[in-house]
Amino acid sequence: MISAQRRFLLRTLGVLALVVSTGTAVHKFYYSRTVVRHNVQNNALEIEMRIFTDDLERAIGATADIPARLGDDREIEGADQLIEDYLRNHFTIEINGQPMMMRFWGKEVDYDITWCFFEVSNVPDIHVIEVKNTTLTDLFEDQLNEVDLEMAGWERRIQLHREQPSEAVQN
């Protein structure tokens, strides 16, 4: 037989589990995370961006004037191109004051997170790297775009937002 206290505790834990599980599909914070790795063997920057899928759908849907579904059979035609165009307008890298051309490798949608992949080839010696990331800041006032820089011999994390959309880091 279960005591009244134990039943209350089990019910409370059940309600908390329900709240947590239903709360994961809708988020109330606006955040993206980008990792920029310097692959010395390939002399390239490998860039992976993680963005909430619903936010990215909203951003590219606004530019395409149609609902943007990502990662399922209702995905809009040309979604990869829309994502690439949007991110090229909102994410840039300069090395030693020179803009870098990024190649879009594609995306992977994992339910509520969309992973986007870019590469910069023929990277010069990095003395100063400047990253600008205004992704979703036009939609969400409190959007935070965190960028981890993993360069040969050093690492740095920067946090970019509407008031500070870019930051230069010296090696």
pLDDT at 60: 92
Q: Residue 113 has what DSSP assignment?
A: E
Q: For residue 155, is it within any domain?
A: yes
Q: For residue 125, is it within any domain?
A: yes
pLDDT at 22: 43
**What value, to the nearest 5°, has the Cα angle with vertex 43 and ends 154 and 52?**
70
pLDDT at 26: 58
- Taking the C-alpha atoms of residue 67 and residue 52, their distance in angstroms, rounded to an integer, is 16
Tell me, yes or no, if the pTM score tops 0.85. Answer: no
Pairing of β 144-151 and β 31-39: parallel
pLDDT at 94: 98
Q: For residue 13, is it within any domain?
A: no
pLDDT in tens, the chain (171 residues): 555 555 544 454 444 443 444 444 555 789 999 999 999 999 999 999 999 999 999 999 877 777 888 998 889 889 999 999 999 999 999 999 999 999 999 999 998 999 999 999 999 999 999 999 999 999 999 999 999 999 988 999 999 999 999 999 998
Q: For residue 145, is it within any domain?
A: yes
Q: For residue 70, is it within any domain?
A: yes
Q: For residue 20, is it within any domain?
A: no
pLDDT at 13: 43
- Give the position of tokens 């390239």: 44
Nearest to 49 by CA among 124, 134, 130: 134
pLDDT at 23: 46
Which residues fall within 8 angstroms of residue 104, CB to CB, at 6 or more apart?
A: 80, 83, 84, 87, 88, 116, 117, 118
- Contact status, residue 106 vs residue 88, Cβ threshold 8 Å: no
pLDDT at 74: 87
Counting the structural domains of the chain, the total is 1
Q: Residue 105 has what DSSP assignment?
A: E
pLDDT at 8: 45
Residues of the domain holding 45:
26-170
pLDDT at 16: 44
